[in-house]
Amino acid sequence: MNTIYEKPRSLSDVNFHYCPGCGHGVVHRLICEVIDELNINDKTIAVVPVGCAVMSYDYFECDAVESAHGRAPAVATGIKRCMPDKVVFSYQGDGDLAAIGTAETIHAAARGEAITVIFVNNTIYGMTGGQMAPTSLPGQVTQTTPCGRDPYTQGYPLKMCEILSQVQGVSYIERCAIDTVPHINAAKKAIKKAFLNQIENGGYSFIELLCSCPTNWKMTPKQAKERIGSEMCEYYPLGVFVDKIGE
Ligand SMILES: Cc1ncc(C[n+]2csc(CCOP(=O)(O)OP(=O)(O)O)c2C)c(N)n1
């Protein structure tokens, strides 16, 4: 029999609590595949957020620290500075990273901390039941914007890759999407490059992943994947925003 899929060793053997079609599980798998391929399991420390991924320390088979909401880059900074030989990544949703944690996000980038930030942008607060996030698209219906997000009263979405591109300390920034197989393969490549940038150059990397939240978008998993490829990729263009690796 041919093996067509093998669970990465760094992903624990328990069932996810995520909803069907949620992007978190795919992103977990990609991170764990990269950890396996780089053979860094024994020296990787995950800093996990408050949000749907709050219990991801149960899924990552490496050391992990739970941080307060939005504070993951600050916690990751402390860990990396105390233990520079470790590989430290923060894993954060858009509410965590771009609302309550905006200051930590921007200042960790400005300091050029030698960490890897994995940003799961599903344009909504998933865990708390679907409130508007800073990344919710104009017109997006959420629990707190039942008539659709109106930029006139609720502001415009924050484009974190574009914002952080203006910050000098960053070394590598890329936005990818978790919808099609080619996009998911590209996301894994970006995650690997970000981990390697930390290991080889001590550089700060930021990887944004456009992800689905079918439950709170009130869509089927298939419709949600299609929304990523259409509406989300249009508003949040994919690509490399900064690549100063090796400079
Ligand atoms: C200090 C604090 N404020 C608010 C909350 C409530 N809260 C929990 S998760 C969350 C937002 C989660 O959204 P996101 O970061 O986008 O992650 P997702 O659940 O969508 O993966 C909020 C506001 C909290 N736990 N702690």
55-109 pLDDT per residue, tens: 999 999 999 999 999 999 999 999 999 999 999 999 999 999 999 999 999 999 9
For residue 244, report the distance from its CA to the centre of ligand 1, in Å.
32
Average pLDDT over residues 37-49: 98
Instruction: Report the pLDDT value the prediction gives residue 209, as an integer from 0 to 100.
Output: 98
Instruction: Report the pLDDT value the prediction gives residue 88, as an integer from 0 to 100.
Output: 98
pLDDT confidence of 246, banded at 50, 70, 90? confident
Which is it for strands 63-66 and 44-48: parallel, antiparallel or unpaired?
parallel
Instruction: Report the pLDDT value the prediction gives residue 35, as an integer from 0 to 100.
Output: 98
Q: Which residues of 162-183 are buried (b: 16+ CB within 10 A; e: fewer)?
A: ebbeebebbbbbbbbbbbeeeb
Write down the pTM of the prediction: 0.97
Per-residue tokens: 130: 């679907």
For residue 3, report the distance from its CA to the centre of ligand 1, in Å.
38
DSSP H or E segment with residue 183? helix 181-201
For residue 56, report the distance from its CA to the centre of ligand 1, in Å.
14
Assign domain 24-243 to its CATH architecture.
Answer: 3-Layer(aba) Sandwich (3.40)
For residue 92, report the distance from its CA to the centre of ligand 1, in Å.
10
pLDDT confidence of 34, banded at 50, 70, 90? very high
Which protein residues touch ligand 1 with a CB less than 6 Å away? 50-53, 69, 93-96, 100, 120, 122, 124-128, 133
Cβ pair 157, 134 in contact under 8 A: yes
Instruction: Report the pLDDT value the prediction gives residue 113, as an integer from 0 to 100.
Output: 98
Q: Which residue's C-alpha comes closest to atom 1 of ligand 1? A: 69
Ligand 1 pocket: which of 22, 94, 96 to mutate (most atoms <8 Å of CB)? Answer: 96
The domain segmentation of the chain, as residue ranges, is 24-243
Q: Which residues contact 198 (CB under 8 A, 6 or more apart)?
A: 87, 88, 89, 114, 115, 116, 205
- Selection from 54, 55, 92 nearest residue 73 by Cα: 92
Distance between CA atoms of residues 43 and 231, nearest Å: 38
